[in-house]
Amino acid sequence: MSTYVPLFLLFIVAAVLAGALFTISTVLGPKNPTPEKMIPYECGSETTGGRFVKPSVKFYLTAILFVVFDIEAVLIYPWTVEFKNLGWIGLATMGSFILMLVVALLYVWKKGALEWEK
């Protein structure tokens, strides 16, 4: 337990410091909200449209595909680290895993999910 005391002290000091700095900036900071300062700012361009514009379904599909293939990369990394210790069984397992991913990629490609403009 005594080995964790410095870690707990670090978190306590960080929380107290963050709270103190936030409080000081709130109390001492300038308070003159003008209409120009209250408008939303997005990369230097004026905002257009309403508050919420529903994004296209293509964005969701792209995000899901990114997550699927990103998780694949996360799962391949430990296999590459232990490649020598796993032997032929590990190679066959990862080969079937990569084959399934290639089949999934070909399916997505054939369905046109990778076509951004139609």
Single pTM value for the model = 0.49
Q: Give pLDDT tens digits for 38-76.
A: 776 666 666 666 667 677 777 788 888 889 889 988 988
Q: How far apart are CA 87 and CA 115, in angstroms?
A: 39
Q: How far apart are CA 44 and CA 47, in angstroms?
A: 9
Q: How far apart are CA 4 and CA 11, in angstroms?
A: 11
Residue-range domain boundaries for the chain? 5-111
DSSP for 58-80 reads HHHHHHHHHHHHHHHHHHHHHHH
Structure tokens at 38: 């209250």
Which CATH code is given to the segment(s) 5-111? Answer: 1.20.58.1610
Whether the CB-CB separation of 105 and 66 falls below 8 Å is answered with: no
